[in-house]
Amino acid sequence: MSVATEISRIQGLRNDLRTKLVSLGLVQSSAVLEDCVDAVEGVANNGAVAGTIASKDVDYTVPGGYHNGQGTVGIAAAEKEKLTAGNIKSGVTILGVTGSYTGEGVNLQSKTVTPTKAQQDVTADEGYDALSQVTVEPIPAAYADVTGVTASAGDVLANKVFVGPDGAETAGTMLNNGAVQATIDGLTQTEYTVPAGYHSGAGKVSLTGDIEEALAAI
């Protein structure tokens, strides 16, 4: 075999090797023979990798490199032991295991709660395994919807209490003027300022006789 023929053969082998390495993402299409050799030497020999998964939220990351095809990744032994028919609800199949558990022997409790202003945690009492039912009573009148309340303390009589839009009891501050009685003389006093606050409707503002007396004296 001539030198030229041997060189051509080696180039053909290099091209085949490079094509394969390019498909594996290990070299660029412009790689020379030395690059191809370096890439092959850099491939880790993982042999038969053995991995386990112990949680549904944890993945097993397969290491990069060569694998001989004998490696396995499976469910951890401790988790496999839990996959029994008695641990799975009847009618449900998980990883080929059909459940037979029907809930018999479980001590369940039912509870009734009444809404309050504070958060409530409803749990089973000691001696029970779980709750079978929680009944929530209607909202008590004391906790009626007050989102439509628009009154403020100044709109409500002093010494009276109302429930504000935040559900809290609030004391009114409006002055109770009752039946205001006032007079004006029409001469030096021509108007009366009605005080702010509540008026019973029986109050009166009247005119004195000063104007008549002044006219009579003319």
Q: Per-residue pLDDT tens for 106-154?
A: 889 999 999 988 899 999 999 998 999 999 999 887 777 788 889 999 9
Q: What is the mean pLDDT of the chain?
A: 91
pLDDT confidence of residue 101: 87
The answer to whether the predicted template modeling score (pTM) of the entire model surpasses 0.75 is: no
Read off the pLDDT band of 13 (50, 70, 90): very high
Do residues 77 and 62 lie in contact, with contact meaning Cβ atoms separated by under 8 Å? no
Please report the pLDDT score of residue 214 as a whole number: 83
Residue-wise pLDDT for 50-80, tens only, equals: 999 999 898 999 999 999 999 999 999 999 9
